Structure 1
Amino acid sequence: MDPRLYTMMFMQYAVYGLWLPIAARFLSADQAAGGLGFSDFQIGMIIAVAGAIGAISAPFIAGQIADRYVAPARCLAVLLIAGGAIKFITAYQTTFPAWLWLSIAYSILFMPTLALTNSLAMGQLPDPKRQFPRVRAVGTIAWIAVAWAFPMVWLQTGLEFRWLPPFFTGQELPDAPARMIDSVRVAGVLSIAYGLFCWFGLPSTPPKRDPQKKLAFAKAFGLVRYRSFAVFVAATLIVSVVHCFYFVQMSKFLSAIGLDDAYIMPAMSLGQFSEIFALALLGP
């Protein structure tokens, strides 16, 4: 398999996993401690509502533009570079309106990339049914990697080896909540680098436009008439609600019960190990 697809998937989920798990923590932390001091309502708007707007718009951007008018790799590159710039700028904001509107803009740009990477990978793989789960598993590994690496490098000092995950632990720095915001800056820079890789490094597949079907998403919506697909969509909606609650509340909850900020990301990455196992079952 093309190693470029592994690199693409690794960077895709490294960008996402760098900031999302701990966003609620540094958004809610007191300003005196280096956080932004936002309320629960404001955090929900920044993470959940902004994400929902991006997710709703994604089919229209990824499905209607990519593969029909612009090569997927080029579209992916533009979205990631623009999104990375917005993410980097967001990290320097201190007011709720700025965070909200920039988060909405970023979500509209980033959410389509999740579908585009899947589409691009499956289009390049000789046997996508068997090979894609392996490629996608690299994204999950990236999520775990950044969840362990960022706190080690940036939130702790005096690291020592331990036999239990995340294996290297040290003394948490006193300004950890303020340093957690740097995850947004790093994600922005990484997104730009990832976008450049997509532009220059990924195989460029020419767009495939069917003149008889002007609306790419219309066919997808038509699948709802099938009972099995409708049940799948309904179940996915329920899971998505739980998913939003998890990222809006989990990091705050772990901090409230006494877990050090440096251990929040590793703790929230434990679920990804079962995801790797599930993906392994899908691609024997």
Structure 2
Amino acid sequence: MTPAIRFKLSLMMFLEFFIWGAWFVTLGTYLLQNLHTTGTQVGSAFLTQSVGAIVAPFIIGLIADRYFSAQKILGVLHLTGAVLLWLASRAGDFSAFYPYVLMYMIVYMPTLALVNSISFRQMQNPQKEFANIRVLGTLGWIIAGITIGWLNWEQRGNLGLTFQMAAGASALLGVFSFTLPPTPPIKKAGPATMGEIMGLEAIGLLKNRSYLIFFLSSVAICIPLSFYYGFTNPFLNETGMKSAAGVQSLGQVSEVLFMLLIPVFFVRLGVKKMLAIGMLAWVVRYIFFAYGNGDSAYWMLIAGIVLHGICYDFFFVTGQIYTDNLAGEQSKSAAQGFITLATYGVGMLIGSLLSGQIVDAHKTTGDLHDWHTIWLIPAGIAAVVLAVFVLLFKDQNAPVPAEVIDYAEANARLEV
């Protein structure tokens, strides 16, 4: 890979995740404070991510893989997204805002696969080269959060500007995409089947009892995950944390560090212990949130945020490696698509609906909430999932080969 191509791919990744982090982290706070919505409406807004995750395979499978170059589709989607984000920033109430964010997530979620596809096609050895490119995406998410905190938009009630900042970055990436290395579609014979598009050819993995337990656990753990995505920022702002969005970026810093350590832990602990530790971290995180505050227990809030690296990497990245190891050579991509559809599609959809209703049910006076009780609920859900997983999952598969362990360093993940 030439330095020029490496630079272009790195900038593409930086902008891709800067755009997402620029508005997604503070979305719950914006809706509650600026548009005066209910918790259920906040959950519905975050549910659009699941809708986008479900629709994404159709856009990729029916269009990008067969008819048009990936970089051109990426450009069109981001230019469209820029317009939708700008219109969302101008919406005066939730009924006007929701259609824009729904349409935006439908056009944005496919771009996560497209940036990976464009990158992989330029690499000789993705296992060694991809991590250095993908880490710029996490850096983009971090910079977005720090920028919001530095400009103090949360305390000033100016979170509508986050959508305009994201719209500007989306327009920039949309134009820049047309300068990316050509990534023509792979010619495939015959029409795409529904199974190919949705990754259902990998459904045979569920015949493996241990993988079935892992699969169901992955869907279930996304329910408490929805609480974190949707309501952590409003919670931190209610506790009086300054520059909450910037502080939340510590979670992404932790994510990068633990990503680098995954190969070491993988060899020493194995699949079951890694997955269990990841789920246990979810339980501990929510307990910290439940008992933390802006005064003497402030450290609990920071610890809960920093645990993001273990929460996400140990479960989701390890799970993707485990899935890759079990899938046959012809169904590896389908298997990854299948687990993504199940988690970010089905699991997050259920979690988004449930979390909003729970937050509404525990509203106290004014715009305040009983966060102690709210956070104990996802902690309990995660604890039940952990107990079932530990009791039923049997890691009886062959040791993970070295090349699969190397995959940990190159794995592309949906950010939060």
The bucket for the TM-score relative to the shorter chain is 0.7 to 0.9
- 8 Å Cα contact 2:61-2:196 kept in structure 1: no
Aligned pairs, number? 256
TM-score if structure 1 supplies the norm length? 0.84
- 8 Å Cα contact 1:63-1:217 kept in structure 2: no
Look up the match of 2:115.
117
Question: Taking structure 1 as reference, are residues 218 and 15 closer, same or farther at Cα in structure 2, changes over 3 Å only?
Answer: same
Measure how far apart 1:51 and its partner are: 1.3
Match among 12, 17, 27 for residue 13 of structure 1: 17
Measure how far apart 1:43 and its partner are: 1.0
Measure how far apart 1:229 and its partner are: 6.0
- 8 Å Cα contact 2:146-2:247 kept in structure 1: no
Look up the match of 1:28.
32
Look up the match of 2:42.
43
Alignment of 1:237 onto 2:231:
no
Alignment of 1:223 onto 2:202:
yes
Question: Taking structure 1 as reference, are residues 222 and 283 closer, same or farther at Cα in structure 2, changes over 3 Å only?
Answer: same
Alignment of 1:206 onto 2:184:
yes
What CA distance in whole angstroms lies between the structure 2 residues aligned with 1:23 and 1:64? 31
Larger Rg: 2
Q: Which runs of 5+ in 2 are unaligned?
A: 262-407, 411-416
Match among 166, 184, 209 for residue 163 of structure 2: 184
Query: Could you tell me which amino acid in structure 2 is paired with residue 268 of structure 1?
Result: Q
Q: Secondary structure at the match of 1:91?
A: helix
- 8 Å Cα contact 1:64-1:217 kept in structure 2: no
Look up the match of 1:258.
240
What CA distance in whole angstroms lies between the structure 2 residues aligned with 1:68 and 1:233? 29
Question: Taking structure 1 as reference, are residues 225 and 66 closer, same or farther at Cα in structure 2, changes over 3 Å only?
Answer: same
What CA distance in whole angstroms lies between the structure 2 residues aligned with 1:115 and 1:242? 25
What CA distance in whole angstroms lies between the structure 2 residues aligned with 1:137 and 1:28? 32
Match among 50, 65, 68 for residue 66 of structure 2: 68
Deviation by residue 1:133-184 (Cα, 9 ceiling, x = unmatched): 22111111111111112321x327xxxxxxxxxxxxxxx9xx612x121001
Instruction: From the two aligned structures, give the one with the greater helix fraction.
Output: 2
Look up the match of 2:258.
278
Look up the match of 1:155.
152
Query: Could you tell me which amino acid in structure 1 is paired with residue 182 of structure 2?
Result: S
- 8 Å Cα contact 1:17-1:143 kept in structure 2: yes
* Aligned 1:72-91 pairs, distance under 5 A: 72-91=70-89
- 8 Å Cα contact 1:46-1:104 kept in structure 2: yes
What CA distance in whole angstroms lies between the structure 1 residues aligned with 2:189 and 2:213? 31
Q: Secondary structure at the match of 1:37?
A: coil
Measure how far apart 1:207 and its partner are: 1.2
What CA distance in whole angstroms lies between the structure 1 residues aligned with 2:132 and 2:214? 23
Q: Which runs of 5+ in 1 are unaligned?
A: 30-34, 157-171
Look up the match of 2:141.
143
Question: Taking structure 1 as reference, are residues 88 and 94 closer, same or farther at Cα in structure 2, changes over 3 Å only?
Answer: same
Question: Taking structure 1 as reference, are residues 267 and 62 closer, same or farther at Cα in structure 2, changes over 3 Å only?
Answer: same
TM-score if structure 2 supplies the norm length? 0.58
Measure how far apart 1:240 and its partner are: 3.1
Instruction: Using CA pairs under 8 Å that are at least 6 residues apart, name the structure with larger relative contact order, 1 or 2.
Output: 1
- 8 Å Cα contact 1:63-1:216 kept in structure 2: no
Look up the match of 2:8.
4
Query: Could you tell me which amino acid in structure 1 is paired with residue 130 of structure 2?
Result: F
Measure how far apart 1:68 and its partner are: 1.0
- 8 Å Cα contact 2:25-2:229 kept in structure 1: yes
What CA distance in whole angstroms lies between the structure 1 residues aligned with 2:135 and 2:221? 20
What CA distance in whole angstroms lies between the structure 2 residues aligned with 1:232 and 1:121? 29
Look up the match of 2:347.
none
Query: What's the Cα RMSD here?
Result: 2.1
Alignment of 1:268 onto 2:235:
no
Measure how far apart 1:97 and its partner are: 1.5
Question: Taking structure 1 as reference, are residues 278 and 65 closer, same or farther at Cα in structure 2, changes over 3 Å only?
Answer: farther
Match among 107, 130, 133 for residue 131 of structure 2: 133
What CA distance in whole angstroms lies between the structure 1 residues aligned with 2:59 and 2:212? 23
Query: Could you tell me which amino acid in structure 2 is paired with residue 151 of structure 1?
Result: G
- 8 Å Cα contact 2:61-2:192 kept in structure 1: no
What CA distance in whole angstroms lies between the structure 1 residues aligned with 2:214 and 2:135? 22
What CA distance in whole angstroms lies between the structure 2 residues aligned with 1:19 and 1:133? 25
What CA distance in whole angstroms lies between the structure 2 residues aligned with 1:138 and 1:279? 13
Q: Secondary structure at the match of 1:237?
A: helix
Question: Taking structure 1 as reference, are residues 107 and 68 closer, same or farther at Cα in structure 2, changes over 3 Å only?
Answer: same
Q: Secondary structure at the match of 1:211?
A: coil
- 8 Å Cα contact 2:146-2:246 kept in structure 1: yes
What CA distance in whole angstroms lies between the structure 1 residues aligned with 2:201 and 2:103? 28
What CA distance in whole angstroms lies between the structure 2 residues aligned with 1:184 and 1:87? 6
